[in-house]
Amino acid sequence: MHYKVRAVLVGLLFCSAALGADDAVCSKGWKTLYEKNSKLGLTGERIDHALGRCRNSGMTLQETDMLLYPVSIARSESLPVESMLNKIEEGLAKRVDAKQLAVALEARLENLRRAARLIPSSRPGGGGNPQRLITQVCMALESGLPEAVLKELFELLGGFRYGRLVHVVEMGETLQLAGLDPQNTKQIMDDCLSRQLNRSEMVRVVDYLLEEHRKGRAFKTIHSELWIHSK
Amino acid sequence: MKNEEKIIEQLTNHRIKAPDGFADRVMKALPEWGGVAKRKRSAGFWPAHGRWIAPAFAGAAAMFLVVFVLGQFKPPAEQMQVGFHFELHAPGADRVELLGSFNNWETDDIVLIGPDASGHWTATVSLPEGSHEYIFLVDGKRWIADPKAATHRPDGFGRVNSVIKVYEDEDALQG
């Protein structure tokens, strides 16, 4: 009896030692991953949080490394990374598998690149936060707003501030998602910029447009009525 | 000893009357009290021979620098937070959660209160300025976009998220 108890105890001891070793290796691996990303410029609480979420969601080290790779690429290209980290966290919450999540991240990285290319870096009077505009343009592209529409918008003359452009692009995305024709959306975006509407006024324009659009009225009619009220 | 006592006695009894007008002459010979004090005071505060100019200019320059630097320093603007009321009609649900970009898509973070008599679940959340995506998680397994939101954006995983926009000049705008 004594012998059996001793054997069980020794067995348990071996098991716990093996588990402890595995955990130690694991922690070392996560630490290495953290350090690797720190060297790539992804530092601070945000990356710590994202890593923690990956680990707690059951992602392996390799999978986490794969997910963070496009984020570090975005950082190295001076693109905003917050929306990418957010996408990782969204995917983890929705229990999306690592491969599908990696595809979504690649798509986001590509859209951020497209957005950055579209926005002229030396806009006269373009004070404000270009990173926010890049993110918003990326979202609009993901929502299906054609690149050509945005390109033409940014080619308009005028020293528009990034903040105003953010609101205009946001408005364009809303109209796109509501099913408006992209060319009509572009016309409204141009109108709002040239008339220097502020965000509240743009919201009123969108509300009026969508209400009339839902009634099935032709865009031309709605558009001609739209600016009569503003005169 | 006797000698000493004699000298002390002589000194004690030594009284010679001062000549007439002696006290007046002594007082006249002394400088005026007010003038001395004034000169002393001013001499303490303003160094003589213009030696105050350099320190004064240095002090003024330092003060100017401090004021300039303080003027340049702007504390980071506090991000505006707006309370927004979320609501979902889910009469048969046991638990409704709200996940979004504003809480880094955390589960077990924002749990809606309900259901009320009409089956509504509600939560009021403080949101920072900007555009936010969100979705409801019902009973830990059903993902439901807000049917009341005017805008829904594809999430890249085959579902849609609802979109809310919060800005300083408005309270909260859906869509």
Q: What is the pLDDT along chain A (231 residues), one digit of tens a residue?
A: 566 666 666 665 555 554 444 444 467 788 888 887 776 666 677 888 888 899 999 999 999 999 999 998 998 898 999 999 999 999 999 999 999 999 999 999 999 999 999 987 655 555 566 888 999 999 999 999 999 999 988 887 666 778 888 999 999 999 999 999 999 999 999 999 888 888 889 989 999 999 999 899 999 999 988 887 554
Q: Which of A89, A139, A174 sits opposite B104 (nearest CB)?
A: A89
Q: Which helix (H) or strand (E) holds A182?
A: helix A182-194
Q: What is the pLDDT of residue A29?
A: 81
Taking the C-alpha atoms of residue A179 and residue A76, their distance in angstroms, rounded to an integer, is 36
Taking the C-alpha atoms of residue A173 and residue A206, their distance in angstroms, rounded to an integer, is 11
Architecture category of domain B81-174 in CATH: Sandwich (2.60)
One-letter amino acid of A52: G
Helix, strand or coil for residue B159?
A: coil
Residue that has been written with the tokens 């030396």 in this structure: A122
Helix, strand or coil for residue A43?
A: coil
Q: What is the pLDDT of residue B35?
A: 58
Any idea of the CA torsion for A201, A203, A208, A209, to the nearest 10 degrees? 110
Break chain B into its structural domains and give their ranges: 2-72, 81-174
Residue B52 tokens, joined: 């105050």
User: For chain B, which residues score pLDDT lower than 70?
Assistant: 1, 33-52, 71-79, 168-175
Helix, strand or coil for residue A174?
A: helix
Q: What is the pLDDT of residue B54?
A: 77
Please enumerate in sequence order all residues whose Cβ is within 8 A of that of A76, keeping only pairs 6 or more positions apart, or say none: A40, A41
CB contact under 8 A, A142 and B143: no
The reply to whether A191 touches chain B by the CB within 8 Å rule is: no
Residue A198 tokens, joined: 């502020």
Taking the C-alpha atoms of residue A72 and residue A33, their distance in angstroms, rounded to an integer, is 12
Q: Which of A107, A136, A178 sits opposite B156 (nearest CB)?
A: A107
Q: Rg of the Cα trace of chain A?
A: 25
User: If DSSP states are collapsed to H, E and C, what string results for B39-104?
Assistant: HHHHHHHCCHHHCCHHHHHHHHHHHHHHHHHHHHCCCCCCCCEEEEEEEEECCCCCCEEEEEHHHC
Q: Which of A49, A104, A107 sits opposite B104 (nearest CB)?
A: A49
Q: What is the pLDDT of residue B173?
A: 45
Q: What is the pLDDT of residue B48?
A: 64
Chain A residues lying within 8 Å of B155, measured CB to CB: 90, 94
Chain A residues lying within 8 Å of B152, measured CB to CB: 177
Taking the C-alpha atoms of residue B167 and residue A203, their distance in angstroms, rounded to an integer, is 11
The reply to whether B79 touches chain A by the CB within 8 Å rule is: no
Taking the C-alpha atoms of residue A31 and residue A195, their distance in angstroms, rounded to an integer, is 54
- Residues 4 through 43 of chain A touching chain B, CB cutoff 8 Å: none
Please enumerate in sequence order all residues whose Cβ is within 8 A of that of B152, keeping only pairs 6 or more positions apart, or say none: A177, B145, B160, B161, B162, B163
pTM of the model: 0.71
For the beta carbon of residue B30, count every other beta carbon within 10 angstroms.
Answer: 8
- Residues 138 through 167 of chain B touching chain A, CB cutoff 8 Å: 143, 150-157, 159, 161, 165, 167
Taking the C-alpha atoms of residue B161 and residue A7, their distance in angstroms, rounded to an integer, is 57
- Residues 56 through 115 of chain A touching chain B, CB cutoff 8 Å: 86-87, 89-94, 96, 100-101, 104, 107-108
- For chain A, give the longest Cα–Cα distance: 99
The bridge status of strand B130-138 relative to strand B96-100 is antiparallel
Q: What is the pLDDT of residue B66?
A: 84
Give me the phi and psi of B32, to 5 degrees please.
Answer: -65, 135
Taking the C-alpha atoms of residue A29 and residue A32, their distance in angstroms, rounded to an integer, is 5
Chain A residues lying within 8 Å of B175, measured CB to CB: 174, 206, 210
